[in-house]
């Protein structure tokens, strides 16, 4: 396997993830300790874990990602805005919100644009990154392209493939390529998430155009890299 990514660069693309419903403090401590050790971009945790992770990560430069309307995306816009504001207040540095797939399926593009604009506005006001989760498992190529067209106008920081909560419905290389192509030179980046368990998975997503990876296997990927290339 060829690798054109340095260990440091790879680590800086990873959102080290633990979104388990039964996560314990020792799990969060391990997540944060490993994220500091390898220099991961951030940890991705549920709302109730944000404050504790903020304490553990203070002064380290490792960010905190959390989901909004996660994982279904069916909350109203007002609820999503409340979640966004609240989670930023308690320490989130990046927001990954799930789109309303029902509205997209109904071709209510005005709603999809308004949802994106309003959530992005809150993020921008607080110097927080905004990622838009499509959940590509449910979408046609045309629907993915339609969302990328909206994103190219609104300019969130990332389009993200998946929540990672659907069995077999994680990131697909072909979807990363489609999103990357549809975004063109808009400046919006691509995050691949769900099912990225090995170094090969990670490198394939990067080759396809992803600049951020959501994975619960961050440490394993780092260890595999060092074993092969260091």
Catalytically annotated residues: 96, 160, 191
CA nearest to 2, candidates 203, 219, 192:
203
Burial class (CB in 10 A: 0-12, 13-18, 19+), 173: middle
- In degrees and rounded to multiples of 5, residue 76 shows phi and psi of -65, 165
Which two tokens mark 45?
A: 């945790």
Rounded-to-integer distance, Cα 93 and Cα 65, Å: 6
Strand partners, 189: 158
**Cβ partners under 8 Å of residue 204, min gap 6:** 173
Rounded-to-integer distance, Cα 172 and Cα 169, Å: 8
Contact call for residues 97 and 67 (beta carbons, < 8 A): yes
Helix (H, G, I), strand (E, B) or coil at 1: coil
Query: Other C-beta atoms within 10 Å of 177: how many?
Result: 16
């Amino acid at each position: 396997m060829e690798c054109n990514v340095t260990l440091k660069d790879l680590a800086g693309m990873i959102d080290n993830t633990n979104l388990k419903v039964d996560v314990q403090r020792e799990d969060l401590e391990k997540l944060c300790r490993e994220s500091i050790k390898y220099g991961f971009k951030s940890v991705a945790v549920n709302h109730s874990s944000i404050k504790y992770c903020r304490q553990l990560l203070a002064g380290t430069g490792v960010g905190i990602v959390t989901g909004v309307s996660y994982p279904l995306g069916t909350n109203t816009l007002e609820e999503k805005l409340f979640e966004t504001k609240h989670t930023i207040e308690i320490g989130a540095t990046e927001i990954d919100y799930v789109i309303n797939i029902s509205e997209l399926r109904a071709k209510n593009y005005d709603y999809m644009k308004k949802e994106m604009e309003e959530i992005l506005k809150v993020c921008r006001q607080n110097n927080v990154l905004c990622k838009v989760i499509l959940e590509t498992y449910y979408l046609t190529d045309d629907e993915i392209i339609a969302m990328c067209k909206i994103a190219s106008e609104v300019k969130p920081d990332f389009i993200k493939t998946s929540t990672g909560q659907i069995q077999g419905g994680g990131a697909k290389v072909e979807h990363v390529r489609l999103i990357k192509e549809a975004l063109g030179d808009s400046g919006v980046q691509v995050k691949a998430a769900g099912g990225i368990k090995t170094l090969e998975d990670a490198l394939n997503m990067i080759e396809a155009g992803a600049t951020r990876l959501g994975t619960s296997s961050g440490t394993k990927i780092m260890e595999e890299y060092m074993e092969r290339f260091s």
